[in-house]
Structure 1
Amino acid sequence: MTNLSFIQKIKGLKNSSVTRRLFRAVFVILGKLPKKKKLMVFESFHAKQFSDSPRSIYEYMKENHPDYRLLWSVDKSAIHLFESFNVPYIQRFTFEWFWTFPRAEYWVNNVRLPRWMPKPSGTVYLQTWHGTPLKKLGLDIEEIHMPNTKTDSYKKNFALESEKWDYLVSPNPYSTEIFKRAFHYNGEVIESGYPRNDLLTNHSDTLISSLKKDLGIAEDKKVMLYAPTWRDNEFYQKGKYKFEFQFDLENWIKEFGDEWVLLSRMHYLVAENFDFSAYEGVVYDVSLYPDIRDLYLASDLLITDYSSVFFDYAILNRPIIFFMYDLENYRDQLRGFYIDIEKDAPGPIVQTEKELFQAIRAMSDSNVQLSSTFSEFKNRFSSLEDGKATERVVNTFLK
């Protein structure tokens, strides 16, 4: 047997229904043991990131509630990341993890947990979620196009997951209404703004300069962030999605390379490993950068598509361009939208490389706050983003 086939068999065993049933049984039994009071366990994006609202809550708790024990549940592949931040962790699905996770008094997470993980009695589960929705979510999706996923079972699993939540964080009234319906959630909603966005309000020019320096970007360069999302129907396998650039990097460099650098930030589900070595010093792959909030702060302009990043980025009052080259297909076939993006987008929508470059030239020095569309967008979606969302969330779920 080759090493590869042996590894494949081990992975198959780990993901088998027998293993999941065994895991569940152990989890249920250990969850009946006495709770570890004031123990809070965090996860972000399937235990692979030190980021998002769970990170903001962790940092707030560490500073303001030192009497709590704070631990991160971490996938094996991300151990080096957490060690680099000197963050206390337990490796997911190890003996120590089974002994600890089901006995924690608090869970903080931003995505769904594995279906086999029940919430023990006495555990408080805070679900922060991870974005204001543009594209349809959960039970609102009419047809699922993801690999090996049936629409009925996908929706059922979402409803089963939301039953575990004691609190759900919402960034605005718009999201609250959608979350309750799309997640089939009947529990308490903390309508607070997103904890992860507090830094976008509470930052300094010194921090921005420091972030650019850490990224290796010259102080005199302007920064463009490209942060697209994934396409449900373009994949290699479940959980690993394809992505191809729809504008030519050589052309981008000819147009903007003297004045700008480009940060390329792929969605965490995109499996591509882009080689930008030919464009060193001009194009940066920041897909594995720990937390996108730093990239927001370091950049002067955002290019995105259907990702929820633009809801957060608008807080900074900086230009946003929507490169929606497949708008009709994505809107009408894949997901559908909650808002009329063509009417309400806080920036121009473009579909070709030529239009994209024209929009960059037009928007690079613009004052977006002079736009009534931009102002109305912020009033609708960012009114709660005052830098104190984390405090409101913690004060609510610790009561």
Structure 2
Amino acid sequence: MERADGTRSSVQLAPAAQRDLPLDVTAGGKRIELQARQYDQLALLAHSELRPAERSRHRQTRLREHAYPLARHEPLRDAVVYDVFGGRMYGDSPRAVHEELVRRGEELEHLWVVRDGQCEVPPTARALRVHSPEYYEAMARSRYIVGNTHFPKWLERRPGQQIVQTWHGTPLKRIGFDFDNEHFASTAYLEDLDRERRQWSMLLSPNSFSTPILRRAFRYEGDLVEAGYPRNDVLLSPDRAKRAAEVRERLGLPEGKKVILYAPTWREDKQRHRGGFLLDLRIELDAAERALGEDHVLLVRPHAHVAEPVPGAGDGFVHDVSAQAGVTDMMDLLLVADVLVTDYSSVMFDFAVTGRPMLFFTYDLEHYRDRLRGFYFDFEERAPGPLLATSDALIAALRDTAAATAPYERAYADFRAAFCDLDDGRAARRVVDRMLEKGGA
């Protein structure tokens, strides 16, 4: 096991205790089993929520190629399926759309896609296990499907069905057909994207800047709704202070300490051999704690594609607030953050709604911009805060954030005017109005 200081030690189970194995627990809605193997070895097994008969290759082929097409001929149900990052969390713009529909009292069944218990669903919705028989049936028969990333390849919109693509961020980095290097430029990826875009009945744009980019990058000719991001409504809601206090309590954040949120994007060239991507944390945590630990805490939110634990988490200064750690909604973190540290993540556009300071830890700016992704605008010219290349510079800026960000007041104001022009707290209402209008057509 790994201690808070980063050192490792082995754990040995007493022989008498092994007689009590296997042991089952349920954590975060997921069944976990501790097993004894080969006498002296322990194994931690995370169970799939699908039963063996449901997850076999033959059964999945039958569900996809026979059950789903047949169900498409059955009458539509007055139901909404919500899919956030393939069932990995309850949050983002689909959450705001769901809450708006519930607030209105619309007579709809709400089904939330969940992958192997990775997120908890509120009482206002029912969990829908990914790749279960009921999942295929719901995708075939629900009147509305609302998602924030790519949908399954086999999904085919039927007459009367609305597939709403909210997407998940204002594009600084190039996306879709605009992407021009060896990452995500394979023929298969572009063919899948070309097929998928034809299934959308609506694509959301978070601001006027994004509208032409999204239309071009996705080659989308359908209904592009310039509504703002529903997920940002909470940052302007009248009860945001109450929700922020609840989040602080849930995360166990100490009173009186400022909250630094570090939310970097992922690096396509930092793959792990076991799948996922490296965190590649460049902040010197010991130095940061010495300089900031007395009156700050550091929340680290890796990108959803990152599959590594946060080093040092649990020491009182560093907090792992990843989706894997059970913190599902980024908006909750933006509510409690006093300052955001990011790099090229689209979270900067959301956080700008709050008006709070931002610092940019851009240690690989030239590589990322010129070789890895490419940008849609001159980030160095328009960034609403300082671009910092080293851990020492970042820590110094965090020690006196007001001084570090003072020269960027005009740039911040211009940034908000350009990228937050539709953020007024009513984006979810506009999206739901359009959904219901189209759904009743």
After superposition, the C-alpha distances for 1:229-254 in whole angstroms (9 at most, x for unaligned) are 11011112596111221121000000
Counterpart amino acid of 1:166?
A: S
CA contact (8 A) 1:24 1:117 kept: no
Residue 47 of structure 1, CA deviation: 1.2
Are residues 1:59 and 2:99 paired?
yes
Q: Which residue in the other structure is 1:269 paired with?
A: 305
Residue 225 of structure 1, CA deviation: 0.1
Within-5 A mapping of 1:5-154: 19=60, 23-36=64-77, 38-78=78-118, 81-82=120-121, 87-145=125-183, 151-154=186-189
SS in 1 for 2:374: coil
Are residues 1:372 and 2:407 paired?
no
Please, which runs of 5 or more residues in structure 1 have no aligned partner?
A: none
SS in 2 for 1:173: coil
Within-5 A mapping of 1:255-334: 255-277=291-313, 280-288=315-323, 289-334=327-372
After superposition, the C-alpha distances for 1:89-141 in whole angstroms (9 at most, x for unaligned) are 22121122222221001110000112122222321111101100110001000
Residue 20 of structure 1, CA deviation: 5.1
Looking at structure 1, the residues matched to 307 and 338 of structure 2 have their Cα atoms a distance apart, in angstroms, of: 27
Are residues 1:175 and 2:210 paired?
yes
SS in 1 for 2:118: helix
Looking at structure 1, the residues matched to 152 and 57 of structure 2 have their Cα atoms a distance apart, in angstroms, of: 13
Counterpart amino acid of 2:302?
A: M
Q: Which residue in the other structure is 2:281 paired with?
A: 245
SS in 2 for 1:374: helix
Change (3 A) 1:109 1:24: farther
Looking at structure 2, the residues matched to 351 and 105 of structure 1 have their Cα atoms a distance apart, in angstroms, of: 49
Counterpart amino acid of 1:349?
A: L
CA contact (8 A) 2:95 2:231 kept: yes
Are residues 1:216 and 2:252 paired?
yes
Number of aligned residues: 387
CA contact (8 A) 2:234 2:240 kept: no
User: Equivalent of 1:397, from 435, 438, 441?
Assistant: 435
TM-score of the pair, normalised by structure 1: 0.90
CA contact (8 A) 2:300 2:318 kept: yes
Q: Which residue in the other structure is 2:392 paired with?
A: 354
CA contact (8 A) 1:322 1:350 kept: yes
**Which shifted more, 106-115 or 199-208?**
199-208
Looking at structure 2, the residues matched to 238 and 394 of structure 1 have their Cα atoms a distance apart, in angstroms, of: 40
Residue 25 of structure 1, CA deviation: 3.6
Change (3 A) 1:327 1:17: farther
Q: Which residue in the other structure is 2:261 paired with?
A: 225
The structure with the larger Rg is: 2
Change (3 A) 1:22 1:341: same
Q: Percent identity?
A: 35
SS in 1 for 2:121: helix
Looking at structure 2, the residues matched to 238 and 129 of structure 1 have their Cα atoms a distance apart, in angstroms, of: 27
Looking at structure 2, the residues matched to 59 and 169 of structure 1 have their Cα atoms a distance apart, in angstroms, of: 17
CA contact (8 A) 1:265 1:285 kept: yes
Q: Which has the higher helix share?
A: 1
SS in 1 for 2:113: strand
CA contact (8 A) 2:156 2:199 kept: yes
After superposition, the C-alpha distances for 1:138-185 in whole angstroms (9 at most, x for unaligned) are 100012326xxx522212211211110001111111111111011111
Counterpart amino acid of 1:46?
A: G
Looking at structure 1, the residues matched to 399 and 386 of structure 2 have their Cα atoms a distance apart, in angstroms, of: 12
Instruction: Please report the RMSD computed on the Cα atoms of aligned residues, expressed in angstroms.
Output: 2.6
CA contact (8 A) 2:80 2:144 kept: yes
Please, which runs of 5 or more residues in structure 2 have no aligned partner?
A: 1-37
Change (3 A) 1:188 1:61: same
Looking at structure 1, the residues matched to 61 and 280 of structure 2 have their Cα atoms a distance apart, in angstroms, of: 35
User: Equivalent of 2:271, from 230, 235, 257?
Assistant: 235
Counterpart amino acid of 1:122?
A: G
SS in 1 for 2:187: helix
Are residues 1:185 and 2:220 paired?
yes
